[in-house]
Chains A and B, each alone.
Chain A
């Protein structure tokens, strides 16, 4: 039956297509090197209409020069693009949509561009494929959203095209791996071209072109929290978290979200937690960016290991000087990796704790507000029970025991805590009967309301009022009252059933500071191991170099 066909199936169309692109691109490159002035022409030569284009950019590192260059391409040639992005961070990312060169976008987070994006969706100028979590988006790069062209950012290239990403490796390996091995084109902007790299993060063989950007790629100092802004209320919540959660479960492996609430916890480790005798017993292993506010805990010997999604501006020298703690290459600089750290946060941590904007009475939490499509980032990866996890740890087993209701099969449970003040600035309540996410889903035509952390994944809620352990609730009604019980003077909180909440309190499901032996009067800024950025610099032995906007000296 094996008759030669008239039209034999061709199995290497993609490879041939790629070769064609490289042929066209060769006119604007010397080997892999493209001169700064030729980059727009190169992009026009190698990008085809309808291409899936991944622009590297997350909440930190940005391939900003390549984004700007894409904006200069001829819209009649570079069009119908399907953009893939971790984060729509820069105005340029939306400018290209406004120029009509993009028809579809898949992403994970939009942050500052959330309002503009919502407007473009409403005007029908862009279709959103889906909004992902980081790990989901990276995963799809290897299944059904493989980039045809990846525009990435690295610190340096050598003449061959080997890349050194430096401490901000971040998404680069995931993007390049997916693109390079599926016949895609990888174009890197680099801050400098050198003869010899400190180390090779991406081998030249995986890189199609590199170009020296006129200015170094932008990195947002997103994880720097100035301790001088931490309030007494946040310190009180941090005390509740440490005593009512960390100490209780003996949590050693964890991830902290971004924000002042968790920064306060970090700064209370060498003081309050140490006083409670918790050094060595909690917070030893982290999936965490190099938060400057972790410096005092590291210096106090609390921390044994930190793996990071990305780096943090100004922390480079400190990290290099603490290779026992951070993941540092033989060249002496850190290597981060967002995909691996997200996976680590999901599978190898016993606790995720982060802030949110709204929590409903089922415990669902969301940062979505009407008129802003902000997306998810990485929080849901960490803030969800890892149902594929099999290895045990004391904290995981205890949470599992507390969660066990029906059946007899014991299993563990990830601790997922939300830490919020009951009211934000301008008396915006954090506890609501209905999430704004419902309205956003309706107005933006989403299939589901964008929920950051689902209620059934949340195990604890911490506010300045106290802590609720949702694992111990016997019914949906108890759960609801346990949430209302710490919702303070929000309308949702004032609608609590006082008798039921007292009952939950008797059973240790709702615990107020006095139940934990915490005196609110001790919640003062004097408890912070560092009260300002300068004290962080001093704690680091002068190794931390904060960005200038954070200095007051």
Chain B
């Protein structure tokens, strides 16, 4: 059918995201579904299990670069991290330390820890965090791709911020506590989780890009994620990830201080956009990604 649209990252399952992101047919899965490493905790709670425990991990090439890749399935328990799920992520990153691929790609689509297996899940996420840092220490950049319905929240929000690059679509969201959690704890006056434009103004891809947390904002199609990722892999090929030194840390601190000042009075995404140089604030949410990126660049 000629009218068929490009594959939406948001719409696609974790496996389709991987298949369409990497070079065709290059994905080799570790710990594949037929091994049936399902969650013992969910089984004990009489809850449905998934053969891959909600995450696919493996190796592949992308534009010829050797990579390791993980993709969380947001539709299975909200992409939440359980013991097996977390072990697969941490194991993949540890493999990165040994095999030194061009990069490790994390396609994050998760609300954080899986409540059904809270302690195991919490430990798993902390292991993932440490593994990210070990990878980076070994000179392997870790890239986060965020564009699924669950976004990147809770522990996986922290993991995302540890990554060297964060590629987001507008639909993607990034935060620590999710909107519903904030509303429950602080009240609806503080944050109305059903006010969807507000949710996206505070956690969505555009505001995260304006704040500089997302390093790239792309359209919601897998091709766009792929081309930016390919570009980054080339860049890391030419200029490998160097160990972090004191100058770099100081520079980052200075940047954060500057950011704090710049957005000191902002109470809402609108004010972030305003401070980022956008004039028509009602239009920002509908601006095509290319235009948004261009206007942001011009204001910097």
Q: Which residues of A contact B (CB under 8 A)?
A: 228, 270-272, 274-275, 522, 525-527, 529, 531-532, 534, 537, 542, 548-553
Contact = CB atoms under 8 A, between A and B. Distances in A.
Contacts of A525: 11
B246 interface: no
Nearest to A272: B1
A228 B171 CA distance: 13
Contacts of B285: 551, 553
B1 A548 contact: no
Nearest to A270: B3
B200 A551 contact: yes
Given A525-B11, A531-B11, A537-B286, A550 B196 contact: yes
Given A548-B195, A549-B196, A553-B200, A542 B286 contact: yes
List the 10 shortest-distance A-B pairs measured between CB atoms, nearest first.
A271-B3, A551-B196, A526-B4, A548-B197, A553-B200, A551-B197, A553-B285, A553-B170, A548-B196, A275-B1
B166 to A, nearest CB: 18
B4 A527 contact: yes
Given A537-B286, A551-B200, A553-B170, A531 B3 contact: no
B204 interface: yes
B194 interface: yes
Nearest to A300: B3
Contact of A552 (B7, B8, B196): B196
A375 to B, nearest CB: 29
B197 to A, nearest CB: 5
Nearest to A530: B5
A532 B200 CA distance: 15
A275 B3 contact: yes
Contacts of A548: 195-197
A301 to B, nearest CB: 14
A270 B2 CA distance: 11
Interface string B1-30: 111110110110000000000000000000
Nearest to B282: A545
B286 A526 contact: no
Contacts of A274: 3
A270 B5 CA distance: 12
A548 B195 CA distance: 7
A351 B258 CA distance: 64
B194 A549 contact: yes
Contacts of B5: 526, 531
B101 to A, nearest CB: 31
Nearest to A228: B11
A267 B171 CA distance: 21
A228 B196 CA distance: 15
Nearest to A296: B3
A551 B285 CA distance: 10
A26 to B, nearest CB: 44
Nearest to A529: B3
A549 B199 CA distance: 11
A549 B171 CA distance: 15
Nearest to B3: A271
Interface residues on B, range: 20 to 34
Nearest to B10: A532
Nearest to B170: A553
Contacts of A529: 3
B218 to A, nearest CB: 14
Given A550-B196, A551-B197, 9 more contacts: A271-B4, A526-B4, A529-B3, A548-B195, A548-B196, A548-B197, A551-B200, A553-B200, A553-B285
A531 B8 CA distance: 9
Interface string B40-58: 0000000000000000000
A551 to B, nearest CB: 5
B17 to A, nearest CB: 15
Contacts of A531: 5, 8, 11
A271 B4 CA distance: 8
A211 to B, nearest CB: 30
14 contacts: A525-B11, A526-B5, A526-B7, A529-B3, A531-B8, A537-B286, A549-B194, A551-B196, A551-B197, A551-B200, A552-B171, A552-B196, A552-B200, A553-B286
A347 B247 CA distance: 79
A549 B4 CA distance: 27
A118 B194 CA distance: 31
Contacts of A271: 1, 3-4
A542 B283 CA distance: 10
A553 B198 CA distance: 9
Contacts of A552: 171, 196, 200
A228 B170 CA distance: 16
A223 B206 CA distance: 29
Contacts of B171: 534, 552-553
Interface in B187-243: 194-197, 200, 204, 206
Contact of B1 (A527, A532, A553): A527
B81 to A, nearest CB: 23
A532 B7 CA distance: 13
B222 to A, nearest CB: 12
A420 to B, nearest CB: 25
Contacts of A275: 1-3
A532 B11 CA distance: 10
B1 A522 contact: yes
A270 B200 CA distance: 30
Contacts of B204: 553
Contacts of B206: 553
Contacts of A228: 11
A211 B82 CA distance: 59
Contacts of B10: 532
Contacts of A542: 286
A205 B64 CA distance: 78
Q: Which one of A274, A275, A526 has the greatest number of beta carbons of chain B within 10 Å?
A: A526
Nearest to B171: A552
A522 B4 CA distance: 11
Nearest to B6: A526
A271 B200 CA distance: 30
Contacts of B286: 537, 542, 553
B122 to A, nearest CB: 29
Contacts of B195: 548
Contacts of B11: 228, 525, 531
Nearest to B169: A553
Contacts of A272: 1
A275 B8 CA distance: 22
Nearest to A271: B3
Interface string B271-285: 000000000000001
B74 to A, nearest CB: 13
Contacts of A527: 1, 4
Nearest to B283: A542
Contacts of A549: 194, 196
Contacts of B3: 270-271, 274-275, 529
A546 to B, nearest CB: 10
Interface string B234-271: 00000000000000000000000000000000000000
A552 B4 CA distance: 22
Contacts of B2: 275
Q: Which one of A527, A548, A549 has the greatest number of beta carbons of chain B within 10 Å?
A: A548
Contacts of B8: 531
A525 B1 CA distance: 13
A436 B264 CA distance: 61
A549 B200 CA distance: 12
A71 B2 CA distance: 58
